Chains A and B, each alone.
Chain A
């Protein structure tokens, strides 16, 4: 797959079809792959990678990149294409300046998942069908790809590549996903347990804003949290509720626009399961206002921009408890 992606990127640049390519390159280690823009074919051949650690969703970068001169080619995995469509719906991406290449994905891996398997000092990971050949400082081991998947990829919702100009690999299908299982498990707890869970998770927050910066839906040019008068900048002076407030507002701002790509949880340095907040909103909207997948198509009306005369009242909320 890597060679096909690199060859495609190089040929797009060499033929002059695009002036830039948005892809991935290795960071300090082979597993901390980072998004990168390439401008010549030589650069692509030397630096570009497409390996099981290319989890980063590139669609957000198109907001800025599609405004520059010349056409940019971009490589999108199925979940990235949902964000791509959603951003087009919001008129954030100039579609005619983008050449979208869909890359089929079998789930991205996570170095933390490898570490949990007891593999330390990993120096290389090679793909082999459904297995991964992992080389560490101490041993060589073959593990199944499933074991090394990043948590979000265990509940993959779809392998459809939406709105791409060409595909590498096959077109995929929607998958039966149990992605709301964790939300339901939390709903089944008592309010005290839920409060303890979220206080435990969110008090780890260091307010690095990585979740905000990486989120394709969270892309306002001016952010409420950058306003010095908002009073939410200063972590040191914050007491316990402050992190909850930040994350409630962050999740609320993307309600109805979040495609559930899971980037927020992936980038969180404190491993807070932030996607659960977004998923709760998605689950509620599906239940209250009918099924909706943000970025799923160009026509469906987002639930937060619509209403019906007989919407349920706020008193409907029971979260698993019997009505009061």
Chain B
């Protein structure tokens, strides 16, 4: 029996409702391809992203987490993404400090008009994570679904 050993990563993309989620929509209607293992979770604003969400996503089997929001200056709530930027910079820096690969986390600004950028970002991020391999450092055995 042959075991298929190709690694297909699970990627969680947190997309803000107003820009990036619409950007993902646009890349779909434009028939641009991005990997099917990107799971999009819609959040009202990039600053809604609680650090627990990211850690929980990793615990429950994500191999990479990316946050997409409106470009700085374009937030639907005016300033949300500026706060998100500070928080995520600190959190990702701490994760890196604790030895969790820096490449597994990313912040990208994608507007509602940037369907192509969304698809390109996801392609690139999936490639990065595939190269890194499965996430072993943050997983939690309790949360493993057999």
Residues of A with Cβ closer than 8 Å to B?
183, 186-187, 191-199, 224, 237-242, 244-245, 248-249, 251-252, 255, 277, 280-281, 284-285, 288-289, 303-304, 307-309, 311-317, 319, 324
Contact = CB atoms under 8 A, between A and B. Distances in A.
B89 A314 contact: yes
Interface string B76-102: 000100110111111111111111111
Given A194-B97, A303-B86, A313 B107 contact: yes
B109 to A, nearest CB: 9
Interface of B: 51-52, 55, 58-59, 72-73, 79, 82-83, 85-102, 105-107, 137-142
Shortest beta-carbon contacts, A-B, top 3: A195-B99, A307-B82, A194-B99
Contacts, number: 114
B7 to A, nearest CB: 20
Contacts of B51: 248-249, 252
A257 B146 CA distance: 41
Nearest to B99: A195
Contact of A319 (B72, B96, B107): B96
**Most chain A CB within a 10 A radius of its CB, from B72, B91, B97, B105:** B97
A237 B142 CA distance: 7
B101 A314 contact: no
Contacts of A191: 96, 99-102
B59 A241 contact: yes
A212 to B, nearest CB: 15
A317 B100 contact: no
Nearest to B141: A239
B99 A197 contact: yes
Instruction: Give the dominant DSSP class at A's interface.
Output: helix
Contacts of A309: 72-73, 82
Contacts of B86: 288-289, 303-304, 307, 311
Given A281-B94, A304-B86, 4 more contacts: A241-B138, A288-B86, A304-B83, A319-B93
7 contacts: A239-B142, A241-B138, A252-B51, A284-B89, A309-B72, A314-B85, A319-B102
Nearest to A319: B96
A183 B106 CA distance: 23
Contacts of A237: 142
Given A241-B140, A311-B85, A252 B90 contact: yes
Given A245-B59, A314-B85, A284 B93 contact: yes
Instruction: Give the dominant DSSP class at B's interface.
Output: helix
Contacts of B95: 248
B56 to A, nearest CB: 8
Contacts of B93: 280, 284, 317, 319
A201 B78 CA distance: 41
Given A245-B55, A245-B59, A317 B99 contact: no
A242 B56 CA distance: 10
B107 A248 contact: no
Contacts of B72: 309
Contact of B99 (A198, A245, A314): A198
B94 A193 contact: no
Contact of B90 (A285, A319, A324): A285
Contacts of B52: 224, 249
Given A309-B72, A311-B85, A196 B99 contact: yes
B77 to A, nearest CB: 13
Contacts of A251: 94
A314 B140 contact: no
A209 to B, nearest CB: 17
A255 B88 CA distance: 12
Nearest to B58: A241
A244 B91 CA distance: 13
A194 to B, nearest CB: 4
B97 A186 contact: yes
A324 B79 CA distance: 29
B98 A195 contact: yes
A308 B85 CA distance: 10
Given A194-B98, A194-B99, A196-B99, A313 B85 contact: yes
A105 to B, nearest CB: 30
A293 to B, nearest CB: 17
